[in-house]
Amino acid sequence: MNDTPNDTEGPKPRGALLWLAPLAVSVAVILLVWGAVISANRPEPPAAAPEAPTTTTSATTAPPSGGGGGDAAKGEEIFRGTCAACHGQDAKGIPGLGHDLTNNSFIQGLSDDELVAFIEEGRPADHPDNTTGVAMPPKGGNPTLTEADLRDVVAFLRTLQ
Ligand code: HEC
């Protein structure tokens, strides 16, 4: 029976806490609803961002062959097998034989098609353009070379200019 006075002091602070509890809950509910409204409106701005990376796909570049479609690596092999005998392994020419084909203005002045046609025909020793008195034989003297082979050689010659 004597316990009651002690209990009367307790309920006062507890009553205040009981008041705060529903307040805190309602604030939490309001914040949750508010947060849901904000996040529902939010998806619009991020939607613009993913577009940026897709623009990188247009960065493909053409091969540096000059558009002739030849394979410079295959052309180098053919050059070493057929042309290097007169033009040198480094294509810088051999005195009294083939011209230097690096940084060569004759090559630079012709299109790929014209250059293929030139190599197919060669340049006879009595040709007015001939400066050495030595003939550039048709296809470099290798009749087995196809037009595709010559395109590869031309692609290789382009890499030396
Ligand atoms: C038998 C030797 C010989 C071979 C093999 C040969 N050439 Fe020549 N080439 C010459 C000579 C000689 C000339 C220069 C002729 C002249 O005096 O105008 C020449 C000239 C050229 C020119 C013109 C360069 C210029 O400045 O006028 C090109 C291009 C060329 N050769 C490419 C080739 C290619 C490509 C091959 C291999 C498929 C080849 N040649 C194989 C002897 C040769």
Q: Mean pLDDT throughout 53-57?
A: 44
d(C-alpha 112, C-alpha 129), whole Å? 19
CA–CA separation, 45 and 65 (whole Å)? 45
* 161 CA distance to ligand 1 middle (Å): 16
Q: Domain 72-158 falls in which CATH fold? A: Cytochrome Bc1 Complex; Chain D, domain 2 (1.10.760)
pTM metric for this prediction: 0.68
Q: Catalogue the long-range contacts made by 41-50 (C-beta closer than 8 Å, 24 or more residues apart).
A: none
Measured from the CB, is residue 159 less than 6 Å from ligand 1? no
Which runs of consecutive H residues, i.e. helices, occur in the chain?
3-9, 11-41, 44-48, 51-54, 72-78, 84-87, 105-108, 112-121, 147-158
Domain definitions of the chain by residue range: 10-46, 72-158
Binned at pLDDT 50, 70 and 90, residue 69 comes out as confident
* 53 pLDDT tier (thresholds 50, 70, 90): very low
Q: How confident is the model at residue 62 (pLDDT cuts 50, 70, 90)?
A: very low
| Phi/psi at 147 (5° precision) | -60, -35
pLDDT of 56 above 70 = no
Q: Is 154 in the pocket of ligand 1 (CB under 6 A)?
A: no
What's the CA gap between 135 and 124, in Å, rounded? 5
What's the half-sphere exposure (Cβ side, CA atoms, 13 Å) at 117?
5
Ligand 1 center to 147 CA (angstroms): 17
Whose CA is closest to 86, among 21, 154, 46, 141? Answer: 141
147 or 8, higher pLDDT: 147
What's the whole-number mean pLDDT along residues 29-41? Answer: 57
Give yes or no for residue 108 CB within 6 A of ligand 1. Answer: no
Indicate if the pLDDT at residue 67 is higher than 70: no
Check: CB of residue 118 under 8 Å from CB of residue 128.
no
Interval between CA 99 and ligand 1 midpoint (Å): 6
